[in-house]
Amino acid sequence: ERSLPEPGSQDSRAGDDIEIVVNVGGVRQVLYGDLLSQYPETRLAELMGCLAGGYDTIFSLCDDYDPGKREFYFDRDPDAFKCVIEVYYFGEVHMKKGICPICFKNEMDFWKVDLKFLDDCCKSHLSEKREELEEIARRVQLILDDLGVDSAEGRWRRCQKCVWKFLEKPESSCPARVVAVLSFLLILISSVVMCMGTIPELQVLDADGNRVEHPTLENVETACIGWFTLEYLLRLFSSPNKLHFALSFMNIVDVLAILPFYVSLTLTHLGARMMELTNVQQAVQALRIMRIARIFKLARHSSGLQTLTYALKRSFKELGLLLMYLAVGIFVFSALGYTMEQSHPETLFKSIPQSFWWAIITMTTVGY
C-alpha cells in the first residue's frame, strides 16, 4: 500500500520552494510554488497543500497520485492545459487555434481559472460560439416541441400549435408549403402593383381631376393586404410567446407592410372631417410610400436572405469600424478639397458640407 509523506515533509509544505509535478494527458509538467501562489484559488495552487489532507483531499483535486514519483495525474486535454498555465507566466490566457471554445471554457472551469484572464479576442470568439450553440439549441428545442405530443394539453392549445406549425414550418406538410409559396407570390404581386400604380399611363382621374391608381390595381392591393392581415393575425393568435412575437424584427416588418393601408383608409374616409383635404392627401401619399417595407417580407420565405441578414448582424462591429474610417476620410478630404478650391471663382466647393458629396462619391464609386 502506498503511503503519503509526513505532513512536515517537503512535499506537504506550502511554501515558495515547493515543486509540483503534474501529468496531464501524458504530458509531464514541473511547476513551482512561487509561481502557483500568485493565484491561490486555482486547482494547481491547491495541490501545494493537499498532501496533508490525505488521499481524500488529493483525489478530490486530481485523478491519481504517485507518491514514489510525487506526481499528480489528470485525465484532461494537454493542449488546453498548455494554454491555461499561461496565466501563471503572463497573467492572461490565450486560446490556441483548433481548440473548441466551449471545451476550453470547461477546461478553465476545471482548473479554476477565472474567465476574466482570457484574452479579449478569445472572449469574443467564445461569445460568438456560445451564441451559435444557443441558437442551435433553440432550433432543436423547437423541433422537439413539434415532434412531441402532450396528451395533457387541451384542444385549444393543440389547435394553436397546429396553426403555428402550419404557418411557420413550410416543410412540415404539403399544404403548408403551398401556403408559403402563395404568400411569397402575393408579396411579389403587391410589390409589382405598387410600382405599376405610379406609372402615369396606368392612372385614372378622380372627381377632382387628380391622378390616382387604377381601380383594378387598388383591388389587387386590397386583396393582398387582406391576406397579409389574416396571416399576421393567425400567427399572432398561435404564437407561444405573444410579446416575443410582437417585438421580433420580421413581425415588425409585417406590421409596417400592412399598417399604411389601414391608416390611409382611415384618413381618406375620416380625416377630411378633421383637416384640410390637401393635408389628408399629402399624409396618404407619405404613408403609401411606406408600402415598400413589404419587400422585406421576402426574407421570411428565403433562407438565403436570412443567412445574409445573420451575417450582417454578426459583422455589425466590423461594418461600424469600416463606416467610421470612411466618415473620417470623407471629413478630411472634404476639408482639403474646400481649402484648395475655395479661391476659384466658379468653384462648386462653396463650403465643407457641400464638399461632402464629392468626397462620398469619390471614395465609394469611381467618382462620376
Q: Name the domain count of the chain.
A: 3
Residues 111 and 211 in one domain: no
Q: How many CB atoms lie within 10 A of CB 62?
A: 21
With 50 as the cut, is the pLDDT of residue 2 above it? no
**pLDDT of the residue at 193:** 85
**pLDDT of the residue at 367:** 54
In the chain, % of residues over pLDDT 90: 12
Q: What is the mean pLDDT of residues 285-294?
A: 63
Which stretch of DSSP H or E encloses residue 354?
helix 352-364
| Strand boundaries in 80-146, DSSP class E | none
pLDDT band at 73 (very low <50, low <70, confident <90, very high): very high
pLDDT band at 20 (very low <50, low <70, confident <90, very high): confident
**pLDDT of the residue at 286:** 60
- The CATH number linked to 190 is 1.20.120.350
Rg of the chain over all Cα atoms, to the nearest angstrom: 34
pLDDT band at 24 (very low <50, low <70, confident <90, very high): very high
Residues 276 and 326 in one domain: no
Tell me, yes or no, whether 251 lies in a domain.
Answer: yes
Burial label for 243, CB within 10 Å (0-12, 13-18, 19+), is exposed
Express each pLDDT in 157-206 by its tens digit.
Answer: 778 888 888 888 777 788 888 888 888 888 888 888 888 887 888 888 87
Tell me, yes or no, whether 339 lies in a domain.
Answer: yes
With 50 as the cut, is the pLDDT of residue 234 above it? yes
**pLDDT of the residue at 221:** 85
pLDDT band at 271 (very low <50, low <70, confident <90, very high): low
- The CATH number linked to 335 is 1.10.287.70
Residues 180 and 265 in one domain: yes
Residues 92 and 228 in one domain: no
Tell me, yes or no, whether 5 lies in a domain.
Answer: no
Domain hosting 56: range is 10-121
CA dihedral (168, 171, 176, 181) positive or negative: positive
pLDDT band at 11 (very low <50, low <70, confident <90, very high): very low
Tell me, yes or no, whether 145 lies in a domain.
Answer: no
Q: What is the mean pLDDT of residues 215-219?
A: 87
Would you put residue 92 in left (φ > 0), alpha (ψ -120 to 50) or beta?
beta
Q: What is the mean pLDDT of residues 55-59?
A: 87
Which stretch of DSSP H or E encloses residue 29?
strand 27-32
**pLDDT of the residue at 366:** 67
| Cα 29 to Cα 76: distance, rounded to the nearest angstrom | 13
Which stretch of DSSP H or E encloses residue 294?
none
Residue type at 351 in one-letter notation: S
Residues 53 and 87 in one domain: yes
Residues 181 and 296 in one domain: yes
Tell me, yes or no, whether 151 lies in a domain.
Answer: no
Residues 239 and 323 in one domain: no
Last residue of a domain, one of 121, 150, 177: 121
| Cα 135 to Cα 313: distance, rounded to the nearest angstrom | 14
Q: What is the mean pLDDT of the chain?
A: 80
Residues 168 and 282 in one domain: yes
Tell me, yes or no, whether 238 lies in a domain.
Answer: yes
Tell me, yes or no, whether 110 lies in a domain.
Answer: yes
Residue type at 173 in one-letter notation: S
Backbone torsions φ then ψ of 212, nearest 5 degrees: -130, 170
Tell me, yes or no, whether 209 lies in a domain.
Answer: yes
pLDDT band at 281 (very low <50, low <70, confident <90, very high): low
Residues 86 and 40 in one domain: yes
Express each pLDDT in 86-106 by its tens digit.
Answer: 989 888 898 888 888 888 889
Residue in 166, 191, 186, 189 with CA at minimum distance from that of residue 176: 166
Grid cell of 9 as nine digits: 515533509
Residues 205 and 260 in one domain: yes
**pLDDT of the residue at 75:** 93
Place of cell 509544505: 13
Residues 213 and 113 in one domain: no
Residues 290 and 319 in one domain: no
Q: What is the mean pLDDT of residues 29-43?
A: 89
Note if the pTM is more than 0.75. no
